[in-house]
Structure 1
Amino acid sequence: MGKSLSGKVAVVTGGSRGLGREMVLAFAEAGADVVIASRKFDACDALATEVREQYGQKALPVACNVGVWEQCDELVAAAYAEFGRVDVLVNNAGMSLLYPSLDQVTEAMFDKIIATNLRGAFRLSALIGARMAAAGGGSIVNISSMEASHPEPMAVPYAAAKAGLEALSGGLAQTYGPTVRVNTIRCGPFDTDIAKAWPPEMKDALAQHTALRRIGAPTDIVGAALFFASDASAFATGAILALDGGWR
C-alpha cells in the first residue's frame, strides 16, 4: 500500500513480538512513526532501533502492562509528549492462562485475563479516542480472537474478554464517530510465540480446521492491519474481519 500512513503516528500494544511486531514494521514501512508498547522495555527498544535503521521512521519504546490502569495513562502521556498526536491505536496486547478446570480459575487469574484483554483496551481507547475525535479523526484497531465466537472449554475467561472487546469496538465506533473509526480483526490460530509450546500434531489438527489448511503466519496480519489503519477502510467502522483461514 505504499506510504499509506505517511505522516501518521501509530501506537501498538503488545508491539515487541508476534503479531504486534509485524504490525509495527508494516506501519513504519508505510510511513508511520510508531510507539511500541509491551511489558518488556528491552524488546521494545530493540525493535525501535530496527525501525529507525530499516525505515528511517521515529520509534518510541514504552514499557507498559496494559492490565494496569495507571500504566495505560502513562503510555498515552508518553505518546503525546513525544509526538503530539496519535492517528492509529492498535489494541493488540492479550493473554490467556491455563487452568485444570473452570472451578479452579481464581479471582486473580480471572481479573488478570480481563484486565489485559479488555480493560486496558478500554482505557487506552477512551483516552486516545477522545483526543482523536477532538483532533479531527483517527483509527482504532482491536485484535480479537475466534474464541469470541467459538469459545472452547480451556479458554472461557479469555473468550469472554475477547467477546467483550468486540462489543467495546461497536460502542467506541458509535461514541467517537463520525471522525474516528473503530474496527476489529478476529484472529484464528497463528504461529506466534504461543505456538512454540504446541506439539506438532496440534498445529496439524488446527490447520485441518481451516479452508486454507494451514495456520496463520505472523505476517498474515499485515494486510488487514494496514487496511483498517489507513484510508483504504474509510467507510468501515464497527466491523469485524475474520482472519482465520476459513475456520470451520
Structure 2
Amino acid sequence: MSEHTLDSTPLAGKVALVTGGSRGLGRQMVRAFARAGADVAIVSRKLDACEALAKEIEADTGRRAVGFSCHMGEWDAQERLADLVQAEFGRIDILVNNAGIAPVYPSLSEVSEALYDKVFDVNTKGAFRLMAVIAPRMAAAGGGSIVNISSIATKRPMPSELPYAAAKSALEIMTMGFAQEYGPSVRVNAILPGAFDTDIAAGWDPDVVAKEMSHLPAGRIGRPDEIVGAVLYLAGPSANYTTGVLLPVDGGRTAMGR
C-alpha cells in the first residue's frame, strides 16, 4: 500500500488552466498552483490583466505562466482556448472553472431575458463546453483533475441571486455527471465558496457584512487565500480517491439553518 507524504511542490510537472484567473479567488488559485510547482494558463476576457499576472508569477515562482483571453459565454471559444493552451504547454492536467458573473437586478420581475441568458452562458454553458472538450483529452493522456467553482447560493438561495444560484446548481449537477463519465482517470469536483473579501465585496455595505458574518461559526468573512487549501487538495494527488464531491468553503454557513 502506497502512502502520500507532504510535498512542497505536489503539482510539479503539471499544467493548470484557471478561468477567471486574473482577479479575486482565481488570482489566489493561480498563485497557489504555481507555488505548488505547476505551470499555469491564466484565462479571462481581459488579456492585459492575465499577462500582467503571468509576469508576476514567473518572477515570483520561476514557473511558466501565460495569459489567454476567452469569453466563457461563447460555445466555440472553449475549444479554441483548449487548443491554444495545449499548443503552448503540451498538456492540460488541471482545469478550474472559476469564471462567473452574478449581476445585480432590482427585482425578479425586472430580470431581462438578456441578463438571464448571460448568467447561464458564463456560469454554466461555457464551463460545460470546456469540460466536454478537455476531459476526453485528459483521459487520453492518462488522467487529470477538474475543479468547478460553484457557490453556497445553491444551498442558501436568496431572491437577489436566483438566476446565479440556478446556474451554479446546474454546474454542480454537471460536476457529478462528468465525474461518472470520465472516471476513474479524470476526477471532477466542485467547491462552494461563501463570502470572501475580494474586489467584489468592496461594493457591499461593510456594516451589513460584519453583522451577517458575525453569525457564522467562523465569525468573519473569508480571506481570499483561504480558498487555496481546498483547491490544491482537490487538484492534487492527495485527492486521488475524491471525485464527484461538492465541498463548501463558507465559514460554516451551510451548517446553519436559514
**Amino acid aligned to 1:218:** P
Residue 29 of structure 2 corresponds to 23
1:69 paired to 2:75:
yes
Corresponding residue SS for 1:65: coil
**Amino acid aligned to 2:120:** I
Is the 1:183–1:237 contact (alpha carbons within 8 Å) kept by the matching residues of 2?
yes
Is the 2:150–2:190 contact (alpha carbons within 8 Å) kept by the matching residues of 1?
yes
Residue 34 of structure 1 corresponds to 40
Q: Following TM superposition, by how much is the alpha carbon of 1:245 offset from its aligned partner in structure 2, in angstroms?
A: 0.4
1:112 paired to 2:100:
no
Percent of residue pairs identical: 54
Is the 1:189–1:206 contact (alpha carbons within 8 Å) kept by the matching residues of 2?
no
Residue 143 of structure 2 corresponds to 137
Q: 1:158 aligns with which of 159, 164, 183?
A: 164
Moved more, 103-112 or 68-77: 68-77
Residue 89 of structure 2 corresponds to 83
Corresponding residue SS for 2:106: coil
What TM-score, normalized to structure 1?
Answer: 0.98
Corresponding residue SS for 1:129: helix
Q: Deviations over 1:3-57 (max 9, x none)?
A: 0000000000000011000000000000000000001111100100011111111
1:101 paired to 2:107:
yes
The CA distance in 2 between the partners of 1:177 and 1:157, in whole Å, is 30
**Structure 1: tracts of 5 or more residues without a match:** none
1:223 paired to 2:229:
yes
Structure 1's consecutive aligned runs of 4 or more residues displaced over 3 angstroms after TM superposition are: none
Residue 189 of structure 1 corresponds to 195
The CA distance in 2 between the partners of 1:209 and 1:126, in whole Å, is 40
The CA distance in 1 between the partners of 2:203 and 2:169, in whole Å, is 25
Corresponding residue SS for 1:141: strand
Q: Deviations over 1:43-72 (max 9, x none)?
A: 100100011111111111001111111222
Q: Deviations over 1:108-131 (max 9, x none)?
A: 100100011111110110110010
Residue 146 of structure 1 corresponds to 152
The CA distance in 1 between the partners of 2:201 and 2:11, in whole Å, is 31
Q: Number of residues paired by the alignment? A: 248
**RMSD of aligned alpha carbons:** 0.8
Is the 1:36–1:61 contact (alpha carbons within 8 Å) kept by the matching residues of 2?
yes
